[in-house]
């Protein structure tokens, strides 16, 4: 399994141009004051429930179905409030690939990569 913290996504306009991009279509856009929280689905199976902490499910702005009913995994990105997004709008985010976390699908335990195998930092 792959883990990415919400703060490890960046707006393409302000991100390092060498960072990989992902196209997202948020189901929920939540204004948190200084930032926006974007919740979007990815084509990956849900992690096993016993391996994750229970979270609260929100309602989809698009069609009234519960996000918990979606068979895909949900991810969250936090971006500065200076951006303006609507639920259902498609756009790109940059992903800091140096900050990815990997977990064993069966046990949920973190997989620790050797430093030699980690990608080299991008020089700014």
Place of tokens 């990989």: 20
Evaluate if residue 2 carries a pLDDT over 70.
yes
Q: What is the reported pLDDT for 25?
A: 92
Q: What is the reported pLDDT for 116?
A: 42
Q: What is the reported pLDDT for 92?
A: 92
Superfamily of domain 2-113: Nucleic acid-binding proteins (2.40.50.140)
∠ CA 15-18-103 to the nearest 5 degrees?
Answer: 85
Q: What is the pLDDT of residues 14-71, one digit of tens each?
A: 899 999 999 999 999 998 888 989 999 887 666 655 555 444 443 344 444 545 555 6
CA distance 105 to 46: 10
Q: What is the reported pLDDT for 38?
A: 92
Place of tokens 């498609």: 90
DSSP characters over 71-95: SEEEEEEEEETTS---TT--EEEEE
Burial 81-96 (b: 16+ CB within 10 A, else e): eeeebebeeeeebbbb
């Amino acid at each position: 399994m792959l883990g990415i913290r919400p703060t490890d996504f960046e707006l393409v306009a302000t991100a390092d141009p060498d960072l990989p991009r992902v196209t997202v279509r948020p189901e929920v856009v939540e204004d948190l004051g200084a930032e926006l929280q974007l919740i979007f689905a990815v084509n990956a199976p849900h992690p096993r429930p016993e391996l994750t902490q229970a979270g609260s499910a929100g309602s989809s702005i698009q069609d009234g179905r519960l996000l918990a009913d979606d068979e895909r995994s949900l991810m969250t990105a936090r971006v500065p409030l200076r951006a303006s997004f609507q639920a259902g709008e498609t756009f790109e985010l940059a992903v800091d690939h140096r900050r990815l976390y990997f977990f064993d699908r069966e046990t949920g335990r973190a997989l620790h990569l050797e430093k030699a195998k980690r990608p080299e930092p991008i020089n700014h």
